[in-house]
Amino acid sequence: MRVALWVSIFFCTAVLLHAETSVEIDLQEQRAYLLQNGRPVLASPISSGRYGHLTKGGAFKILEKERAHYSSMYGKIVDAYGNTVVADADADMSVPRGGKFIPAPMHFFMRFNGADGMHAGYLPGYPASHGCVRMPEQYAIAFFNSVSAGTPVTVFGRTPTGRYLGQSQPLFPGRGSRFTGPRFGPRFVPPPPPWWP
């Protein structure tokens, strides 16, 4: 299963090198789509901004890419022994004596609006970030390898509020997506579930 997923991601990336590429992020459905000449070729589950840190909708462009990016604003605070004291810390929080602030990793970072970007990260099944769009690492790599500075990014939809409380809802609801109908042909199939437990 893992090999097949990597082969299809590699194939999509190779095909996209010669096509008009764009990204569409659906906040309602919690999905990001990689489009080639207006047709979706890869869909990724995401975790967008949570209440108080919503991901802004609109039309943007990829501003920069950085393979090994670290947040300058968010991370965790550890004590002198390396034990996590605050798991979801801001850089301006007080640090215990001997402790330190460790910036959050945001690998395969693709900035598109201010400090917000797409990157590999944890997906709890609902919006949970500080405004960025997290995706599983294998999808972040595929998107990272397919876009460049200037690639259009459209963010639309309304962030589902019920998920802020951690209510369990399916990541891919049964409703139709915007990628149905005659323009796109049959319904675009979401990616298989991740291979890790």
N residues, the chain: 197
pLDDT tens string 74-103: 888 999 999 998 888 888 899 999 999 998
Is residue 67 over pLDDT 50? yes
Q: Are 96 and 81 in contact, with CB atoms under 8 Å apart? A: no
What are the structure tokens assigned to 54, written together?
């919503």
Q: What domains can be seen in the chain, in order of their start residue?
A: 2-69+106-161 (2.40.440.10), 70-102 (no CATH)
Q: Are 143 and 110 in contact, with CB atoms under 8 Å apart? A: yes
Work out the pLDDT band at 185, boundaries 50, 70, 90. Answer: very low
Work out the pLDDT band at 13, boundaries 50, 70, 90. Answer: low
Would you give the end-to-end CA distance of the chain in angstroms?
A: 13
Parallel, antiparallel or unpaired: strands 116-120 and 133-135:
parallel
pLDDT tens string 19-42: 699 999 999 999 999 999 999 999
d(Cα 126, Cα 163) in Å, to the nearest integer? 5
State phi, psi for 53 to the nearest 5 degrees.
-140, 40
Q: What is the value of pTM for the model shown? A: 0.71
Distances in Å between the alpha carbon of 76 and those of 132, 138, 171?
17, 24, 27
